[in-house]
Structure 1
Amino acid sequence: MSSSTSSSPVIIVTGASKGLGLSTLAILCGTPFSARVVCISRSHSDDLLLFQKMYPDQILLVRGDVSVRATSQEAVDLAIKTWGRLDGIVLNAGSLGPLNRIADVDVKDVESLFSINFSSLIHTIQVSLPHLRTSKGSVVMVSSGAAEADYAGWGAYSASKAAMNSLCRTLANEEPEVFSIAIRPGVIDTDMQADIRLRGEQHMAPDAYAKFKGLHTSGALLPPAWPGYVLASLAFNPKTAREQQLSGKFVQWNAKELEEHQNPMSLRK
C-alpha cells in the first residue's frame, strides 16, 4: 500500500476488536475525525472486519498479542510505511485477569495479567515514542476506578491500573512534548462487566457484587461510545487538554476539564 498524502492523524488503538476499543475505532474513522487507524487485537471480530470494509483506506489490522513487543513494533512499522507518521496511541487492551483474593491468587496469574495490563504499555510506548516526539502526539491510557478502589478479589487488576496511572505521571514528566493521560472510563457495558457478573460472586464482598449486578439490571451501564468519544478526541488532538495541563493526570471521562473532548450527545453520569 502506498503512502497517503492526507494530513489526517494516524492513531494506533490496542484491543480494538470489541467493546470500548471497537467504539473508539469507529468514532476515530467517522465524522468529525476521519483519522487513520492501525488496530491491534488478538482476534479479528466480525464487527472489526466490517468496519475495515466500511473504511478500507483508514483502517489497517495487526493481529497479535499486545504483551509481545513484536506486535506493537509491527503496528508502528505499518503506520509509518503506509502513512508516514504516527500521532497518537490509545492503550485500551486489558484483562480483568484472576478474580481471587490475595491470600489465594496464583502469582503466575498475576504476572500474566501484568504482562497485558502494564508491561505491554511500555512495549507500545517505547516503539512509538520516536514518532510521537516528532508529531508532539498523544498517549491515551484506559485506566479504571479500580486503581483507587479496594474490591475484594480484584487485587491484581486494581494494582495493574494503579501502576498504569503511575506510568502515565512519569511519562508526562520524562516526555513533556508528548501528551499523556489516563482516563477513567466509568462502568461500561462490555464483556468485562459480564465476566464480573459471572465470576465475581465467589470472591467479591456481597455488597460490591450486588452493586455491579444492579448496574446491569437497572440499565445503568454506560454505552462504550460515550467514553470512546473522549478517547478518540484526546488521541486525535489533545490541544485543549494539553493547555489545561492535564498531561500525566488520571481523569474521569466526563470530568468538566474534558468537556471539549466529550460528545455533546453524551449525558453526564
Structure 2
Amino acid sequence: MTTKTALITGASRGLGLALARALAADGWRLILTARGAEALHAAAGGLGALTLAGDVADPAHRDRLAAAVRDHGGLDLLVNNASGLGATPLPPLAGYPLAVLEDLLRTNVLAPLALIQAVLPSLRERRGAIVNVSSDAAAAAYAGWGGYGATKAALDQLSNVLAVEEPEVAVWWVDPGEMNTAMLAEAVGEKEASAAPGPEAVVPALLRLLSGRPASGRVILP
C-alpha cells in the first residue's frame, strides 16, 4: 500500500505535535511546519519527518510547503492547526485593536485557505482530507474571545462551503475542546489551563475520524 502523507501546521507543540507523533507511529510520512525552527526540529526528532520552519501566513513559505508535497508524490491529509490568539490580555470588542485583528485574520483564516488552495490538486488526486482546527469560541459568545472567535467562525464557514464545492475531499472543521496548551495558558493563565486535559487526550478521537472518514462537517471531540 502507498504510504500516506500528512502536512501539519503548528506542529512544534500542542495538538499539532501530539497528532504528528501518533501518525508517525501509525506509519504516516510527515511534513511538519511551525514558525520556530529550533523548537520544530527538536519536537520532530525521531519522527522521520520533513521539517520546514516558517510562517504559513507568508506566501513564499506556503510555496515551499506545496513544493514539498509535490516532491513527496502527493498529499492525503492537511491539518491546519497553526493559529494565533490575538490581543492579550483578551480585550472586549469595543476596544479591540483593529490592526491586531487584521493580522489575526491573516493567520487564522487567509493562511489556511491559501494553503488549501496550494495543495488541493494533490488532495483531490488522492481523495484526501482536510482538518481545520477550530474552537467552541467560533459558535459561542465568550467575553474577551470576540476577535479569536470571529476568525474561527470565518474558518468554519470557509470549511463548510469547501465541503460542498469539493465532494471528493473530506473536510472537517474540528473543535477539540479546551486543552492544556501554551495558547490557553496565555489566554487564561497557567493555573486554569493546567486543569484542562493535554492535547494528546483528543488524538485518539482524531485518529478515529481519519480512519472512519465520516461525511464532511463540524466535529466536536472527543
TM-score, normalised to structure 1, is 0.76
Work out the CA distance in 1 between the residues paired with 2:77 and 2:63: 14
Determine if the alignment matches structure 1 residue 93 to structure 2 residue 82.
yes
- Checking the alignment, whether the CA contact within 8 Å between 2:108 and 2:152 is kept in structure 1 is yes
Secondary structure of the residue aligned to 2:91 is coil
Deviations 1:39-72 (A, max 9, x none): 11101344x424543133xx00111111112222
Alignment counterpart, residue 28 of structure 1, candidates 23, 28, 34: 23
* Aligned positions, number: 220
- Checking the alignment, whether the CA contact within 8 Å between 1:26 and 1:51 is kept in structure 2 is no
What amino acid is aligned across from residue 22 of structure 2 in structure 1?
I
Work out the CA distance in 2 between the residues paired with 1:77 and 1:149: 38
CA 1:52/1:148 → structure 2, altered by over 3 Å: closer, same or farther?
closer
TM-score, normalised to structure 2, is 0.92
Work out the CA distance in 2 between the residues paired with 1:7 and 1:179: 19
Return structure 1 stretches of 4+ with deviation > 4 angstroms.
212-215
Q: CA RMSD in A?
A: 1.9
CA 1:170/1:181 → structure 2, altered by over 3 Å: closer, same or farther?
same
Determine if the alignment matches structure 1 residue 130 to structure 2 residue 121.
yes
Pairwise CA distance, 1:232: 4.7
- Checking the alignment, whether the CA contact within 8 Å between 2:62 and 2:118 is kept in structure 1 is yes
Where does residue 36 of structure 2 map in the other structure? 43
Where does residue 251 of structure 1 map in the other structure? 219
Identical-pair percentage: 33
Where does residue 5 of structure 2 map in the other structure? 10
Work out the CA distance in 2 between the residues paired with 1:107 and 1:64: 25
CA 1:152/1:68 → structure 2, altered by over 3 Å: closer, same or farther?
same
Pairwise CA distance, 1:76: 2.1
- Checking the alignment, whether the CA contact within 8 Å between 1:12 and 1:88 is kept in structure 2 is yes
- Checking the alignment, whether the CA contact within 8 Å between 2:7 and 2:30 is kept in structure 1 is yes
Determine if the alignment matches structure 1 residue 231 to structure 2 residue 206.
yes
Structure 2: tracts of 5 or more residues without a match: none
Larger Rg: 1
